[in-house]
Amino acid sequence: MKSFDVIVVGAGPAGATAARHCSMLNLKTLLLEKERLPRYKACAGGVTKATYREIGFELPERIIERECRGVRFRVKEFEKDIRDNETVIYMVKRDCFDEFLVEMACNEGAEVKDGEECTSVQTGPDGVHVNTERGSYSANIVIGADGYYSRVLKSLRNRSDDVRFCVLCEVPVQRAWIDDYLGDLALIHFGFVDGGYAWLFPKKDSISAGIGASFIKSKELPERLKAFLRANNLSTEVRIKGWFVPFTKFAFPAYADRIMLAGDAAGFVDSLTGEGISGAVLSGKLAALTARDCHDSGDFSEAALSEYHKRCQKSFGNDLMYASRAADYLLKYTDLILGTIARNNEALYKYLKTLKGELDYKSYAEWFKRKMPALLLKRVFSS
């Protein structure tokens, strides 16, 4: 049986980042992916400036479909464009983006096996065994970065996060039409559905359109998406796909003896925006760092790996918890809160700062709570 220091299961942003950093930290690393790469991933492909910075290397031009400098913010019928003087969201297609991250992990020395699904994980005192359809591998640690339906998570417990269902489609559109309609803006429409939002993310020659919502029956979402496409003069002759987005509340550990969970497997997604590439990249890095520490100390126990959970909480846990609390209010009182934000330039520019990683949610919320009475009065008297 071939043995490694670390086996990473799943080659999305979490797994590719974990494998790259493990290799950079001189750990003998295997990255297992069940699909052949490049593979499709249901995702709008928005990479915020803050996340781009965390990736840690330049993405080549061919990977970046469009650079958005701002957002068209719609709340019910109200619409406002807000632009920064720099890119705030990089638009990518996940098949190319993820394949490139894997290429970077390979360049650092990670061994990659795609088209090989992990079927089970067994931990014991002498190591962890990862079984696939083709054979078995052993390691000191396994990093479960295998997404929403994580097999590694299932070897520990059932998923216990809050979950939102999203539908999306990729609409092919002439580049000139996109330039004219959206240009360098991502469109986010709150209040189009109850308890969620709809989006249009412009790529080079297509638009990613989708809806994510908590309060609406998932069966109704495809029809709502078609209505959204019609409202934006886009074709409804599209293939609609659906996928789940998990949101942890950090109530359950993302680790056990010899195991760490990263990205969607651990539910590290922002419940306000549905942004999960950030949590995937950050947790992938922290899992690698913790794996290195465990190898240095020779201790792969649950107690040693609890350091990983602490690191995640410290790095992005507060933001995820804030997002979760804020989402409960914002999606319930959409017009009152988001309608007020949309009518105020300062509030919108501060929102762009959160996308750039220059302002955390806590500071934004505190600022907004202080300003809210004045902003509401202004809104009432100007209407």
- Contacting residue, 112, 168, 294, 338, with ligand FAD by CB under 6 A: 168
Supply φ then ψ for residue 273, to 5 degrees. -110, -15
Quick one: 287 or 326, whose CB is closer to ligand FAD?
Answer: 287
Q: How far is the CB of 299 from ligand FAD (least distance, A)?
A: 26
Does 276 participate in binding ligand FAD (rule CB under 6 A)?
yes
**Helices vs strands, H then E, count in the chain:** 12, 18
Angle between helical axes of 277-297 and 13-24 (0-180°, round to 10): 30
Among 6, 7, 8, 10, binds ligand FAD (CB under 6 A): 10
CB-nearer residue toward ligand FAD: 331 or 375: 331
Q: Which residues of 79-91 are buried (b: 16+ CB within 10 A; e: fewer)?
A: eeebbbeebbbbb
Q: Are 169 and 239 in contact (CB under 8 A)?
A: yes
Which residue from 6, 20, 30, 33 is in contact with ligand FAD, where contact means CB under 6 A? 33
| Token code pair at residue 302 | 């649950």
Span interacting with ligand FAD, options 38-46, 99-107, 215-223, 287-295, rule CB under 6 A: 38-46
- Is residue 139 close enough to count as binding ligand FAD by CB under 6 A? no
264 touching ligand FAD, by CB under 6 A = yes
> Dihedral angle at the C-alpha atoms of 320, 321, 322, 325, nearest 10 degrees?
120
Residue 364 to residue 351: CA distance in whole angstroms: 8
3-state secondary structure of 314: helix
Q: Which amino acid is at 29?
A: T
Q: Which residue in 99, 146, 161, 170 binds ligand FAD (CB under 6 A)?
A: 146
Question: For residue 237, what are the contacts with CB-CB under 8 A and spacing of at least 6?
Answer: none
Query: How many angstroms separate the Cα of 69 from the Cα of each of 20, 231, 291?
Result: 29, 24, 37
11 binds ligand FAD (CB under 6 A): yes
Q: How far is the CB of 340 from ligand FAD (least distance, A)?
A: 25
- Closer residue to ligand FAD, CB minimum distance, 44 or 321: 44
Q: Which is nearer to ligand FAD, 36 or 369 (CB)?
A: 36
Residue 5 touches ligand FAD, criterion: CB under 6 A: no
Nearest CA to 28 out of 138, 145, 146, 121 is that of 138
Exactly one of 207, 280, 288, 320 binds ligand FAD (CB under 6 A); that residue is: 280
CB 104 within 8 A of CB 57: yes
Of 49-88, binders to ligand FAD (CB under 6 A) are none
Among 5, 15, 102, 182, contact with ligand FAD (rule: CB under 6 A)? 15
User: Nearest residue to ligand FAD, using CB?
Assistant: 276
Distance (Å, whole) CA 315 – CA 336: 31
Pairing of strands 162-172, 241-247: antiparallel
Q: Report in angstroms how near the CB of residue 349 gets to ligand FAD at its nearest.
A: 21
Q: Count the site residues for ligand FAD by CB under 6 A.
A: 39
Residue among 103, 11, 9, 101 at smallest CA distance from 47: 101
The pair of three-digit structure tokens given for residue 343, joined into one six-digit string: 């009518």
User: At which residue do the structure tokens 């509401």 appear?
Assistant: 376
Applying CB under 6 A, does 196 fall inside the site for ligand FAD? no
Residues between 213 and 242 that touch ligand FAD (CB under 6 A): none
129 binds ligand FAD (CB under 6 A): no
CA 312 vs. chain centroid, Å, equals 15
Q: Does 274 bind ligand FAD (CB under 6 A)?
A: yes
Written as one letter, the residue type at 359 is: L
> Cβ closer to ligand FAD: 130 or 375?
130
How many angstroms separate the most distant Cα atoms in the chain? 73
Kindly state whether residue 117 participates in binding ligand FAD, applying the rule CB under 6 A.
Answer: yes
- Give min distance, CB of 213 to ligand FAD, in A: 11
Selected from 112, 221, 234, 277, the binder of ligand FAD by CB under 6 A is: 277
**From the list 22, 25, 200, 245, which residue makes contact with ligand FAD (rule: CB under 6 A)?**
245
Residues that bind ligand FAD (CB under 6 A): 9-15, 32-35, 39, 41-46, 117-118, 145-147, 151, 166, 168, 210, 243, 245, 263-265, 269, 274-278, 280
